[in-house]
Amino acid sequence: MPSLKAIRKRIGSVKNTRKITRAMKLVAAAKLRRAQDAIIAARPYASALATVVSELAEVAGADAHPLFEQREGKRVTVVVYTSDRGLAGAFNTNIIKRTEALVREELVGCEVSLRLIGKKANQYFSRRNYQIVSFDGAPIGATALQVAGDASHRVIDDFTSGKADRVFVVYNEFKSAITQATVVKQVLPVVPEKVKGADKPALGQDYDYEPSKEELLTRLVPLYVQIGLYRAALESIAGEFGARMSAMESATKNAGEMINKLTLQYNRARQAAITKELLEIIGGAEALKG
């Protein structure tokens, strides 16, 4: 049985760990709220942009922009969002497993290139036989738009130059503080979202466009790609904080349970030590009487 000193030392160590995990949980909760606000603010713009691109594509036709071009080629680029740090439960593991499953099961026979965003993805895939063409640190709220902009420029260049025939993004979609859904979404070629309730533009009318429909698409489609990657970045940020908050809450709870067990062990060891001392005293007294 461990000594009383060793048990006391371990109890102190676990209490310090519990303080750290509790503080990390509170920090993650505060940052999660800001990340949720950013997602809510971005959704109306992303939705409106998707509607405009869809309507213009329907009017102008699928051949109106080169980023709509469907190809039969086997070159694929995958953008992968993970975090820079751990201590977030299965947040990064789920992304890595889903990316491997995508390459192994759905992109069989394809030449796959990875564009990694987040140190955890780079640490994992760089040790394995994957073709990594770029790596960036994980975005935070202040850098999400810049990271998404850089990523969109790269994948658009890959597609237009023929280095990639399809582009996918893999990220964790934020559902709640305890739930994230791993999502695989096609970025290129762009598939305009259908306008619900109509086979023609949303208002069912013809318009005179200034500038032309083609020029509008030239400006809006790259922006549409960027906003899609920006939204994925925001979802990933919120998902990371939610996963970290949940993981730290579990760690804090487990630390409390361990402290209770160690305290019980300490009290039993102390009681046994006191009983032993009493028996020795009694034995010594009886020996003196004899």
Q: For 20-63, give the DSSP string.
A: HHHHHHHHHHHHHHHHHHHHHHHHHHHHHHHHHHHHHHHHH-TT
Least confident range from 25-34, 43-52, 142-151, 248-257: namely 43-52
Nearest to 22 by CA among 268, 245, 278, 263: 245
Asked whether residue 222 carries a pLDDT value surpassing 60, the answer given is yes
- Residue 207: the pLDDT is 63
Long-range own/partner contacts, residues 59-67 (CB < 8 A, 24 or more apart): 59/200, 59/201, 59/213, 60/213, 60/214, 60/217, 64/213, 64/214, 64/217, 65/190, 65/214, 65/217, 65/218, 65/221, 66/160, 67/156, 67/159, 67/160, 67/188, 67/189, 67/190, 67/221, 67/222, 67/225
Strands 131-136 and 75-81, by their bridges, are: unpaired
Q: Can you tell me the distance from the alpha carbon of 70 to that of 166, in angstroms, rounded to the nearest whole number?
A: 9
Asked whether residue 172 carries a pLDDT value surpassing 60, the answer given is yes
Asked whether residue 200 carries a pLDDT value surpassing 60, the answer given is no
∠ Cα 145 175 100 (to 5°)? 75
Task: Kindly list the distances between the CA atom of residue 103 and the CA atoms of 112, 131, 165, 217, in Å, as whole numbers in the listed order.
Answer: 7, 12, 15, 31
Quote the tokens at residue 18. 């519990």
Residue-averaged pLDDT of the chain:
87
Partner residues linked to 173 by β-bridges = 181
pTM over 0.95: no
What is the average pLDDT across 148-157? 94
Architecture of domain 33-246: 3-Layer(aba) Sandwich (3.40)
What is the average pLDDT across 182-197? 79
* Other C-beta atoms lying within 10 Å of the C-beta of residue 83: 26
Percent of the chain with pLDDT over 90: 56
Q: Are the C-beta atoms of residues 227 and 46 closer than 8 Å to each other? A: yes
Q: Can you tell me the distance from the alpha carbon of 25 to that of 15, in angstroms, rounded to the nearest whole number?
A: 15
> Is residue 133 very low, low, confident or very high in pLDDT (cuts 50, 70, 90)?
very high
Asked whether residue 188 carries a pLDDT value surpassing 60, the answer given is yes
Asked whether residue 5 carries a pLDDT value surpassing 50, the answer given is yes
User: 179-195 b/e with 16+ CB inside 10 Å = b?
Assistant: ebebbeeebbbbebeeb
Chain position carrying tokens 């046994």: 272
Nearest to 137 by CA among 156, 128, 127, 150: 150
> Is residue 184 very low, low, confident or very high in pLDDT (cuts 50, 70, 90)?
very high
> Is residue 203 very low, low, confident or very high in pLDDT (cuts 50, 70, 90)?
very low
Between residues 175 and 193, which one has the greater pLDDT? Answer: 175
